[in-house]
Amino acid sequence: MLGIIGAMDIEIEKINACLKNKKEEIISGVTYTQGTLGKCEVVTAICGVGKVFAAICTQTMILRYRPDAIINTGIAGTLSDKVGVLGSVVATALVQHDMDTSPLGDPKGLISGINVIEFPTDETLAQKICENIDTPYIRGIIASGDCFVADIEKKGNIRDTFNAVACEMEGAAVAHVCYMSRVPVCVVRTISDGADGGGELSYEEFRVKAADLSSEIMIKTIESM
């Protein structure tokens, strides 16, 4: 069983359309769709935007469906000149850029209680995803936070603080829950907006194309398993 989580309809609906023997279940307002794709059993969910929605959805998916691994897919903004709009990032690790107890002497991004900044991804799963990407991509750290980052200065601060190459709003929460539950996880994002501060305009122009490419990567990856 492979779990696939996206924040928005456009990030998951194309995957759901390819599933056979589908059945749906609604838990806490989230629709979980089970089915088969190729030889793989799949459960998908549209969690909603932001880290809390993502964490609730991930924990529910783990407890209810017990997936062998979870992939968080969708779109993101680039922080790097090495990957542009409609390129992809396969995460090596996830950080929460808005977690900040530095006034207490902690490094930025530290998750208190477990003393983790970077949540690692599963390398075997990441390599499988990379094998099924036809467009330019890079590996690197993805930063998540509960804000849409369009300001060029803020993008630079996130990049410099965490050595991150992309930012979005859910991946680190998914990885956090998987880390606590010992479930292999990977995050792959297709870039919808650039690093030059023109985030809002670029995002609206390219988000559908980016989500479509992200879905195609997922479909190819699952079919190859």
How do strand 119-120 and strand 30-37 relate by DSSP bridges? unpaired
The full set of domains in the chain, from first to last, is 2-223 (3.40.50.1580)
Chain centre distance of CA 216: 15
Of 52, 76, 57, the closest CA to residue 67 belongs to: 57
Residues 52-68 have a mean pLDDT of: 98
Active-site amino acid positions: 11, 193
Residue 198 pLDDT more than 70? no
Number of helices (H), then strands (E), belonging to the chain: the values are: 6, 10
Put simply, whether the predicted model's pTM sits higher than 0.85 gets the answer yes
Residue spans of beta strands (DSSP E) within 62-209: 69-78, 88-96, 119-120, 137-144, 164-168, 185-193
Q: Tell me: the pLDDT tens digits for 64-114?
A: 999 999 999 999 999 999 988 889 999 999 999 999 999 999 999 999 999
pLDDT band at 43 (very low <50, low <70, confident <90, very high): very high
